[in-house]
Chains A and B, each alone.
Chain A
Amino acid sequence: MAVDQSLIGKQFEATEPVVVTSEAIAAYCDALGDENYRRPGPDGAIVAPPSFAVTFRNTEAFFHYTPRFGRGFDAGKEVEFFAPIRAGDSITLTSVVREMYEKTGRSGTMTFVVLRSTLTNQRGETVAHVDHRFVHRNPGEPG
């Protein structure tokens, strides 16, 4: 199956801003087992651990526009952190399809789709880039 490259560069509509609550950060930290970030920072605001950035997603829009080849999985992520996320911040997500390619692995021939999400806060600061690497096993292929 040839990869349809026409979706590369496809931009998705920005999400509605999500207001980060101290409760959401606490729930994330409790599950992660991270005590450090529950203490307020110097300005009094609760600061989320860097990995909290990956909790903002717009996969529904993504899967609506990109082909599904079968069972999909998260194959990995590449995340750049530019500014901390604090309780009270309002985070907006914009996303674009960066790459689509095929390779073979333990699960057979697979199509990879890399979607870059950019997180922006209420001050217009770029908070993080999150490159989501999704993998879909190609139907009808061995493995």
Chain B
Amino acid sequence: MATIIDLHSHSEASDDSRAPVGAYLNWIKLRRAERPLDGIVLTEHRQYNRAADYRALEDQFDVMVLRASEVETDYGHMLVFGVNDDILRRFDFSNVRLPAQEVIDGVAELGGVVVPCHPGRPTVGLCEHYETKPPLENVTAVELLNGGSRKGENERAAALVDRYGYRAIGGSDSHMVSLIGLCATRFDADVRTIDELVRELKSGRYEPVDFRPNRPRPRRAAPEMAGT
């Protein structure tokens, strides 16, 4: 059974969001016909919200809530899925200059997975860093569709995916209730826990989905351009 999850969202636990988790879930319930989400992942900025317990809200709205983090590195922002005590001991998520390659490799070694997000965004996206630095190794996937992207940013992400053969996810990057689920990821498998999410992200059996109204999906580069 396929599972559709918004892999990138921020609740009021992030410094720049005022969206309560309950309001997100209520919105998803109201807009399910347009944005048929099974769950969301809260990727709070520079922190892991270890103490949060959303089980009552999950039951009330029948929407899964998983927790992850968005960290800041020398190659831009990255989503960290499968955060655990070992990862938190090794990396200080409040550091805005984390070494990206160490984070990717260290998190993988400790059971998680790292996905660079909004790669087409200036300064905080992978594309710009690849212009001046060598490409990162062991990148599992990147965020091809980001609901907060400005014109051209998702298109740059598409070119990156084509060039390097990365797998692709989608997420809304919502900081406001009504924007939740505009972009998401459809997994072939049933995903119910963060461990299953990490396993599936490594498997590659998923694709980004775009629920933004009237938006064309970013065009991939022509096949002959790939690898250039």
Contacts and interface: CB of A to CB of B under 8 A. Distances in A.
Find out whether A and B make contact in their complex, taking CB atoms under 8 A apart as touching: yes
A143 B123 contact: yes
B122 A109 contact: no
A109 B76 CA distance: 11
Contacts of A106: 121-124
Give the interface SS of chain B, mostly helix, strand, loop or mixed: loop
A124 interface: no
A44 interface: no
A27 to B, nearest CB: 31
A107 B125 CA distance: 11
A143 B72 CA distance: 14
A109 B96 contact: yes
Interface stretch (A5-13, A51-59, A65-73, A96-104): A96-104
A103 B128 CA distance: 18
B45 interface: yes
B220 to A, nearest CB: 24
A56 B112 CA distance: 49
A10 to B, nearest CB: 20
B15 A104 contact: no
Contacts of B45: 103
A105 interface: yes
A106 B72 CA distance: 12
A66 B45 CA distance: 26
Nearest to A99: B15
B77 interface: yes
A108 B122 CA distance: 8
Contacts of A140: none
15 contacts: A101-B15, A102-B96, A103-B15, A103-B45, A103-B72, A103-B96, A104-B72, A104-B76, A104-B77, A106-B122, A106-B123, A107-B122, A108-B123, A109-B96, A109-B97
